[in-house]
Amino acid sequence: MTGVLILSFFSLWWMEKTALEYRLSLLKYLADETSDRAIKDNGQIVVGPMLAEIIEEREKILHLDQQPIIYIVDVDGTIIYTMPQLYIKPEDRQLPSIIMDSKDSIQRVEIKDDSQLYVIKSPINFDYETRGWVVIAQEEGALKEVNQDHGWLAMMMGAVLVLGCSVIYVLSRKISRPIQNVANAAVQVRKGNYDTNLKEEEPREEEIYELVESFKAMTSRLKQSDKMRAEMLAGVTHDLKTPVTSISGLIQAVKDDVVTGEERKEFLDISLKETQRLQRMIEDLLDYNAMSSGSFKMQVEKENMNQFIQEISHRWKVTQEEQQTELVVHLPDEVLFGRIDSLRMQQIMINLLNNAKQAIEGKGSISLLVYEADEALIGIDIQDDGRGIPKHEQDFIFEPFYRGENKKLKIRGLGLGLPFSKMLAKAQNGDLVLKESSERGTTFTLYIEKDSQA
């Protein structure tokens, strides 16, 4: 009997210890990731809604009944931000020196009521200089708490001594191996190596499984983001440099009298067109930056959408030099009124029509269908019979500066058309989504707010 009790207590102690180490490692990873994301390129500590969302997503993996407190402090230990948001008296806005002066990243601190608190720190660095700290505090009891399944397992192990020892051994191996794999992979990710492949064996424990799957998804996303950032810089540099090089060469030829007469005039006309194209790309960058920063102003008014779509369609048709593409407009019998910024809505529609035309190789048709999506929204389907968007590219078409393989080779641009159009639609209480795409064509749906007074 004594042996069974000892085994039971040992089992419970082991499970608490494993849970504590596991959750401390996750909290350390959360602190490191938060410190990386809290610093901007200019060295300023910035806490925005995106950072709060990321922290909330990571906290779900911990499965804690009691939410940890996250502090973001400056280099002197003065609290800048807390999550969850807490009211802190001015005299209490300085973290204790026993925490800030310690060189340990994980500390066990005793508080006033004799309970134990774990504190995890991670520096916020910029240019090899510490600008602040991310500090996470959690009570020891919350970190050691195990769920009912583990408690039941510990009791079962206490029933049979030999079976209990075997279960403890097997379980500890299954828990520690995937955690160690994730920890090793996390080290590689922090070094910038996103090609980390976790072993294919799937852990049966739900928490460990979620940890492994979340880490796989995170590394895949980071790898894609890193690739897109590199492609963005290369693409923007190339697309801005190309017209500048062209303009320089053409003007130099005119200056050196390499061309004369009508050819001279043609060179100047080409230079002017390249200048206008360069200006449009710069304006796209400025508009996108203004929209991202929230300084973009909208003039939303009531608009007859039947008439508006007819006018936009006609205007787009007459500006097309090649008449190989047929545009068919389907309007509802009932007049629909929407609340839009007509100038920005025209910008969205022209971009979608141009994209549809570019997707069609040779002769083809574009269809515009206007309909009442629900009581609050009007839907506009823009459908083409072009080559479609490859399946592996569909998740990224609304990412800034992303350009598909076909567009990279055939069409100049910065990859801001669809992301900017989606932002403009959302700013008008609507949205832009990819409805479907296949080898038979692509359909985008533009949702706009329906006028409630109509």
Average pLDDT, the chain: 78
Longest distance between any two alpha carbons in the chain, whole Å: 109
Domain ranges of the chain: 2-159, 194-295, 301-449
pLDDT confidence band for 409 (50 / 70 / 90): very low
* The pLDDT of residue 191 is above 70: no
CA-nearest of 138, 83, 84 to 109 is 138
Between 108 and 187, the more confident residue is 108
* The pLDDT of residue 78 is above 70: yes
pLDDT at 66: 72
CA distance 40 to 47: 10
* The pLDDT of residue 268 is above 70: yes
Classify domain 2-159 by CATH architecture: 2-Layer Sandwich (3.30)
Average pLDDT on 313-328 reads 81
Average pLDDT on 371-383 reads 93
Measure Cα distances from 286 to 70, 201, 280, 291, 408 in Å. 35, 48, 10, 9, 22
CATH for 194-295 is: 1.10.287.130
* The pLDDT of residue 160 is above 60: no
* The pLDDT of residue 181 is above 50: yes
> In CATH terms, is domain 301-449 a member of 3.30.565.10?
yes
Lowest mean pLDDT, pick from 321-325, 347-351, 378-382, 447-451: 321-325
Tell me the three state secondary structure of residue 17.
helix
pLDDT in tens, 290-315: 666 666 677 889 999 999 999 989 88
Max mean pLDDT among 4-8, 55-59, 205-209, 387-391 falls in 387-391
CA distance 110 to 240: 59
Between 400 and 357, the more confident residue is 357
Burial class (CB in 10 A: 0-12, 13-18, 19+), 162: exposed
* The pLDDT of residue 1 is above 50: no
CA distance 59 to 210: 12
